[in-house]
Amino acid sequence: MRAEFVNPFLSSLVNVLTTMAQLEITPKKPQVKKTEIAKGDVSGLIGMVGPKTKGSLSVTFEEELALEIMSRMLGERPTSIDADVTDMVGEITNMVTGGAKRILAEKGFDFEMATPIVVSGKEHTITHKSEGQIILMPFDSEFGRAYIEICFD
């Protein structure tokens, strides 16, 4: 998978968190997923369907990082991953995918987005079931890790 394809997702998440929560995350090297597993506590998932392709995206957060983002957006810190946090993660998932979609459409790569699903559960793991390569993008922050995974047939 080419960088021009990965970068729009990566920069979308960085931009969304800077804009919505004044929170800085540092992208680490994207990799074709083989052994590293994105373990997290809350994830937003979304399906993508285009005329020539289909795929899926996930954005996974460790609990501390998700709570910090909430706290910066609302001025109050929830004690656990509640309905407000899952709403926020669903919204971030929509914004990241929508941001990347606009950039990729300009390059002639079109897809439509399904509605997002949010999964909540301590240290869950996610497996994208597709013929294509899975690209894992890890992010670091002082509050914990985040991961994007994308995959297209």
User: Footprint of a second copy on this chain (CB under 8 A)?
Assistant: 43-49, 54-56, 58, 83, 86-87, 90-91, 94, 112-130, 151, 153
Cα pseudo-dihedral 136, 140, 144, 146, rounded to 10: -30
Q: DSSP letter for 142, please.
A: T
In the DSSP assignment, the letter for residue 90 is H
Pick between residue 68 and residue 149 the one whose CB is nearest to a second copy. 149
State the minimum distance, in angstroms, from the CB of residue 1 to a second copy: 15
Q: Which is nearer to a second copy, 12 or 120 (CB)?
A: 120
Here the tokens at position 15 are: 């931009």
Give residue 46's identity as a one-letter amino acid code. Answer: I
With respect to a second copy, which residue has the nearer C-beta, 39 or 72? Answer: 39
- Minimum separation from the CB atom of position 10 to a second copy (A): 19
Q: How far is CA 107 from CA 8, 13, 103, 104, in A?
A: 11, 19, 7, 5
Give the SS3 label for residue 59.
Answer: strand
Residue 54 beta carbon to a second copy: minimum distance, rounded to whole angstroms: 5
Cβ-based nearer residue to a second copy, 30 or 90: 90
CA pair distance 100, 82, nearest whole angstrom: 27
Closest CB 31 distance from a second copy, rounded Å? 19
Here the tokens at position 122 are 């301590």
